[in-house]
Structure 1
Amino acid sequence: MNTSHGRIVRSKTVVITLAALALTTALIAALIYKHAASRDISADPPQSVIPSPDVPVGDGFGTPVTDVYGRRVDIPAAAAGRPLPQTASPVSELDPLWLSAPPLGTTGRGGWQRVYGVSVPFSTSDGPTHISNGMAAGFAHTPRGAALAAVYISHQLGARPADPAVVARVNYSPEDLNRYHERVAAGRLPMRQPEQITRWITAPDAYQIVSWSPDLCVLMIATRAKTGTPTQIQTWTAARYAAVWTGRDWNLLPGTEIGGTREITSILGWTPW
């Protein structure tokens, strides 16, 4: 990598990291820094497009692309994403897999969609069911619904940190909201992050429910940090999040990366997306 380019990339990501930390998106900022600091983003090849000769016409999606790891991401016609038909029933609370069953539909067409430049999940079992005020809504009142909402909201917070529609889905205190408005007024938070940043906010590989109650779900989310090679073990960055039930939907709790992030070398026993 060109040394001067590397310095530019590192300086840029440090600035973005500070901005993201101001809105409690430490995990996203850490992942951006981890990847971008070691690579010259400007030299990366363009993301590839997946040929889809048999794609249904008029289903609300364009030609799919791949993320930086080569995984499929669908492009919705609607800016905030396209909810999928809820064709599968959520797992019952009496089911032994209540806390560990994955949401259905996330591995198929439209399961991961690019919304404002970042990858966000949509399921056919646990929502979201509709778009409200520019954000996905109608996540099921289940552990899987909470996990889906936590990823969608946190990724959108990383993509459009000054967007009031996103901030409305984070349970900030009045003091935090005042600080947020001050940062927006001072021009310290962008309405949209550039593609050089959003491209690194990708689908996590797995999650794990730490604790569950009807009004609060605490979970760990594991996002790929290093791709395994013959000489390097694969690792993930794990962070703790919390989602709170508002009576109608899940919102994100701010500052819920409890204990910060940590690097792990296995996601065995975690719930895959």
Structure 2
Amino acid sequence: MPDNSQPDVPTTAPRQVWWKRFKGVAVPFSPIVGPLEVQGDIARCYSHTPRGALIAAVQISVRLERSTRWREILEQQVVTSEGKIAYSRARAADRVVPAGKAAQITGFRIVSYTPQSAVVGTVSRDPARGGRTARTVTVKWEGDWKLAPTPEGSTGSAPQKVDSLSGYVFWGGF
């Protein structure tokens, strides 16, 4: 059972986090906030807190974008919406970015948080685009955090180039 006792929005990097590569991208794990269950490419069981939302947003979006078993992730960890249908169509025609060119998380901020929904901002070192890019990902609570894709079918907002981590908390697994 994840620890739901830290309901405050983090302004520093979450403690007790370790990173492991998933298909070339470092993703965070915490024995406190999750994911507490990993079966194949699906990682679930996150705390119902801002920290749980943060780790779920990173885990689910990376796994969905990188896995060859993305349909299972889509079915189990994405909220039912027009965005889910659009993602499925777009992904079926798309290729996965090679591991060496995949973006790596270097910072985060919680843009908004309620117990029902969280918008997580991340900054990544992005070899494919050069430099750093920022984007947001939305997750919603449906018994666990689930990804809420954009109506156009993207896992988050379009990446925007940024010059620094200003306004973000330094955090990443490199």
Classify 1:215/1:224 alpha carbon distance in 2 versus 1 (closer, same or farther; 3 Å).
Answer: same
Shift of 1:164: 2.0
1:143-165 CA deviation, whole Å, 9 max, x = no partner?
Answer: 11111111111111221265322
Q: Which has the higher contact order (CA 8 A, sep 6+)?
A: 2
Larger Rg: 1
* SS of residue paired to 1:239: strand
In the superposition, the TM-score normalised over structure 1's length comes to: 0.51
| Aligned residue number for residue 154 of structure 1 | 61
| Aligned residue number for residue 33 of structure 1 | none
| Aligned residue number for residue 88 of structure 2 | 180
Unaligned runs of 5+ in 2: none
Unaligned runs of 5+ in 1: 1-85, 227-233
Residue in structure 1 matching 2:46, options 139, 150, 156: 139
| Aligned residue number for residue 170 of structure 1 | 78
Which is strand-richer, 1 or 2?
2
1:21-46 CA deviation, whole Å, 9 max, x = no partner?
Answer: xxxxxxxxxxxxxxxxxxxxxxxxxx
Q: Does 1:268 align with 2:166?
A: yes
| Aligned residue number for residue 253 of structure 1 | 148
Q: How far apart, CA to CA, are the structure 2 residues paired with 1:138 and 1:222?
A: 24
Runs of 4+ with >3 A deviation:
181-184
Q: How far apart, CA to CA, are the structure 2 residues paired with 1:223 and 1:138?
A: 25
Q: Which amino acid aligns with 2:119?
A: V
In the superposition, the TM-score normalised over structure 2's length comes to: 0.76
Residue in structure 2 matching 1:99, options 10, 16, 25: 10
Shift of 1:90: 6.1
Q: How far apart, CA to CA, are the structure 2 residues paired with 1:200 and 1:163?
A: 19
Q: Does 1:209 align with 2:110?
A: yes
Q: How far apart, CA to CA, are the structure 1 residues paired with 2:25 and 2:120?
A: 21
Q: How far apart, CA to CA, are the structure 1 residues paired with 2:52 and 2:41?
A: 18
* Percent of paired sites with the same residue: 28
1:1-37 CA deviation, whole Å, 9 max, x = no partner?
Answer: xxxxxxxxxxxxxxxxxxxxxxxxxxxxxxxxxxxxx
The number of residue pairs the alignment matches comes to 163
RMSD over aligned Cα, in angstroms? Answer: 3.1
